[in-house]
Structure 1
């Protein structure tokens, strides 16, 4: 709900990477509902057009723009942000672009690691480097969508955990550099939630990964987006959306041995391992 003193308000301009689907699109939907103009970035022009149409259907006069760009291409990202800023000042960058690769480490190709790092980590770095000259100093905001997988280990997610751990460390370090300049840096660490990425993963994921990830209940994407937008208003620098995931994460931090034991037991119940037909 928008109120007096809310940071999120009409006239703001948010650029959302990965904005054509999933969490990025839901965050955009909630921002548009509060009068914020959004620019959706993604690679697929057709998906961008569909997403923009859906947002305009929600709010007739919504200021929605799209730009096709591959966030793993640093030069293309710099050009994209320069063009966007020339059209309309940018107030906040929300980094939601991401991909997932899952499987037994021994059977995953090397490309699984480079692909995930290129999008989930370096894509975020590229976008931030490109947007910084165009953010208000002070007053600008950066939101990085990481994951609970960036705070712990998850069976089958060696590429994904590596990229998200890198993103968590990068975000926490960047915050120290941005604070003196008056730029807020927010870290969002959701657990697994229903999305096109997860739907695609479900067809081939290992039983161990399924058992391990579901030790924490899924949180609706609407809730994750709502808590992300709320962080912009409150200035909260780190959010684990959903009451249960937040409690579980706190418990794992305070009692790490107990958290690992629960995970091991879940995995042991279904363990198959590499090489099994």
Structure 2
């Protein structure tokens, strides 16, 4: 696999104001990339940009406030980012949300919200950036999840959105690579992040037992694995060895993986009726 450098490349990162998006942006700045961070909160974006330039004085870091669910706003933001930095060499679609709960208890608007951000948000950003990526023969990097490859108790909104994203990315790989665009898919298992910290306050015991059969990874470990994968033209990047083992098990011994999940859930099962009493 060829080594691919980000030095002097302009990389747009959605959801770049915290968590994995910010951590990847810092790693890219360390490689000499020029950055545009996009997220909804302008104040958090400014703080994130300050963190990066403090760590890497001289780094070029622009920001664009963007709600990725707004198609017109996505087009305007990508065009502005390209104009400011002479094109776009890579787009990292990292913006996303995580919701968990018993299927019967999750409101329909939550399913719609998660799909709007995790799937249609990526669709909007990708379509907006595509003309610029075609010109640069650049890279499209979609951050999905191991939850886009396998199911998990309590993650019906999240898994559905990430499975949709995995399917979209698979199609785009076939369509965009003949244009010279490298397409890569990142599928981490659960790791330390503000999003997961918030989930930990309310998650169901079944979800905790099932998902954490693969222990939660550190953010640094995920970034190291992702950057190692991005150094090559590898399509699917699953950071950490335990997550890769889980993905292999799902493909080559799915029955064994299901039985293991069933045992973990059975040991703590409460269900939606008990939870609502």
Q: TM-score, normalised to structure 1's length?
A: 0.96
1:258 aligns with 2:256: yes
Paired position in structure 2 for 1:34 = 31
**Which has the larger displacement, 43-52 or 120-129?**
43-52
Contact 2:9 2:89 in 1 (8 A): yes
Q: Hey, what's the Cα distance between the residues in 1 that align with 2:217 and 2:198?
A: 18
5-14 or 40-49: which moved more?
5-14
TM superposition score normalised by structure 2: 0.96
Matches within 5 A, 1:26-105: 26-88=23-85, 89-105=87-103
Q: Deviations over 1:183-232 (max 9, x none)?
A: 01000100000101011111111000010110112222222223323333
Cα offsets for 1:4-28 (capped at 9, x unmatched): x842242111000000011111100
Give how far 1:233 is off.
2.2
Q: Structure 2, unaligned stretches of length 5 or more?
A: none
1:19 is the counterpart of 2:19: no
Deviation per CA, 1:96-120: give whole Å up to 9, x if none: 0000110001111011100000000
Q: Which secondary structure state, in structure 1, belongs to the residue aligned with residue 142 of structure 2?
A: strand
Query: In 2, distance between residues paired with 1:240 and 1:166?
Result: 17
- Tell me, yes or no, if the aligned pair for 1:217 and 1:245 is still in contact at 8 Å: no
Corresponding residue SS for 2:231: helix
Q: Structure 2: how far apart are the matches of 1:20 and 1:9?
A: 20
2:224 maps to: 226
Give 4+ residue runs of structure 1 displaced > 6 Å after superposition: none
Q: CA RMSD in A?
A: 1.2
Aligned to 2:153: 155
Aligned residues: 273
What is the rounded CA distance, in whole Å, between the counterparts of 1:190 and 1:199 in structure 2?
16
Does 2:127 align with 1:129? yes
Q: Distance in 1 between matches of 2:226 and 2:184?
A: 9
Match in the other structure for 1:173: 171
Separation in 2 of the partners of 1:131 and 1:228? 22
**Matched residues in 2 for 1:234 and 1:195: separation?**
26
Are the counterparts in 1 of residues 88 and 136 from structure 2 also a CA contact under 8 Å?
A: no
* TM-superposition CA deviations, 1:245-272 (whole Å, max 9, x none): 1012101211101000010110010000
**Counterpart for residue 271 of structure 1:** 269
Match of 1:185 in 2: 183
Is the CA contact 1:10–1:35 (under 8 Å) kept in the aligned structure 2? yes
1:198 corresponds to: 196
For the 8 Å contact 2:144–2:186, the answer to whether it is kept is yes
Q: C-alpha separation between the residues in 2 aligned to 1:122 and 1:166?
A: 10
